[in-house]
Amino acid sequence: MTEGNFVDYVKIHVSSGNGGSGSSHLHREKYITKGGPDGGDGGRGGHVIIRGSKNLWTLFHLKFKRHVRAEHGGNGRKQRSSGSDGSDEYIDVPLGTVIRDTETQEIIHEITEEGKEYVIAEGGKGGLGNWHFKSSTNQTPRYSQPGIEGKEVDITLELKVLADVGLVGFPNAGKSTLLSVITAAKPKIADYEFTTLKPNLGIVQYRDFKTFVVADIPGIIEGAAEGKGLGYRFLRHIERNSTLLFLIPADAPDVKKQYEILVDELRRYNPEMLDKDRLIAISKSDMLDTELKAELKKELDEKLEADYLFISSVAQQGLAELKDRLWEMLNKPPV
């Protein structure tokens, strides 16, 4: 799927169906002069239901669907026949979709399981027919209940992709190159900043047919909180990741400073992001000779508190160790 087809944010107006009206019919038959009330109940209006689907990974199919309306319930009929229930309307979404109230921005629900359903707008109940109101003192009621109107609500659907490892780094740090090397993903790669404009997912094939999922998001820069670069728009895609892999190029002027800037931007976006496991990968390390690598390692051991390792996606260096470290972090027993 191309970048233009990746949609992770849509607004939709949903309307459930109105309940059908009850019938106030009076029974009439050739040899029955006073058959009495026999009006049936109205049918229920259709629900609007949001359903999780593992076959989807984007909200593109909803990009141009601004209104979703369920069917109205049918009216009651004679001989106590109930009206038909309105058909429910389903909105299929990828796993990891958050449903918000557009007006208040409050989270209504999250869809994280295959086939999981959530009724976002209940259909109106059908009205009772006049036979319900028959009594000894009112044997011929000529009235019935109207159906209850359905609900209308404006919702916002936000996709937070589900992945095990999230790649964090400045633009042009080598995230897309790494993803293309350790997975079968084919992200756009070029020698300029902000090559990646949409998140990319890749499945890493590990030993003994084991796998884990890596998410590459567009690069963030210092001042993203103020809207610089691409801002925080895509950071929600790594909120669900259990492990964050920071990529910092070996030719960076100050590795420690770049790491601290990235961590600070994550903290300003959501302080809970700092509770995740972190690993630093010094990318493009094939540019360093043995002496420079030893010098940089000595400097990082003194200044950097987090774990780190040297890798090179182009030269295929350190990638096996990187996979081992990530797998170990993803599968460590809970404390």
Residue 6 marked in a binding site: no
- In whole angstroms, give the CA distance from residue 274 to residue 123: 43
Helices 255-269 + 290-303 axis angle, to 10: 50
Give the pair of three-digit tokens for residue 271: 């302080």
Residue 276 marked in a binding site: no
Residue 173 marked in a binding site: yes
- In whole angstroms, give the CA distance from residue 237 to residue 277: 16
- In whole angstroms, give the CA distance from residue 25 to residue 46: 25
Residue 55 marked in a binding site: no
Give the pair of three-digit tokens for residue 299: 């400097």
Residue ranges in the chain assigned as alpha helix (H): 175-182, 255-269, 290-303, 319-330
Collapsed DSSP state (helix, strand, coil) of residue 97 = strand
Residue 172 marked in a binding site: yes
Residue 85 marked in a binding site: no
Residue 286 marked in a binding site: yes
Residue 251 marked in a binding site: no
**Residue 167 contacts residue 175 (beta carbons within 8 Å):** yes
Residue 126 marked in a binding site: no
Radius of gyration of the chain (CA): 29
174 DSSP 8-state letter: S
Residue 225 marked in a binding site: no
Closest CA to 231 of 283, 271, 171: 171
How is 225-237 classified by DSSP, letter by letter?
Answer: GGT-TTTTTTGGG
Three-class HEC string of 293-318: HHHHHHHHHHHCCCCEEECECCCCEC
Residue 82 marked in a binding site: no
Residue 218 marked in a binding site: yes
Residue 169 marked in a binding site: yes
Residue 157 marked in a binding site: no
Closest CA to 280 of 250, 303, 261, 259: 259
Residue 160 marked in a binding site: no
C-alpha distances in angstroms, 37 versus 26, 127, 130, 139, 251? 4, 15, 6, 8, 87
Give the pair of three-digit tokens for residue 310: 């040297």
Residue 285 marked in a binding site: yes
Residue 194 marked in a binding site: yes
Residue 175 marked in a binding site: yes
Collapsed DSSP state (helix, strand, coil) of residue 258 = helix
Residue 253 marked in a binding site: no
Residue 76 marked in a binding site: no
* Binding-site sequence positions: 169-176, 194-198, 216-219, 283-286, 312-314
* Binding-site sequence positions for Mg(2+): 176, 196
* Binding-site sequence positions for GTP: 169-176, 194-198, 216-219, 283-286, 312-314
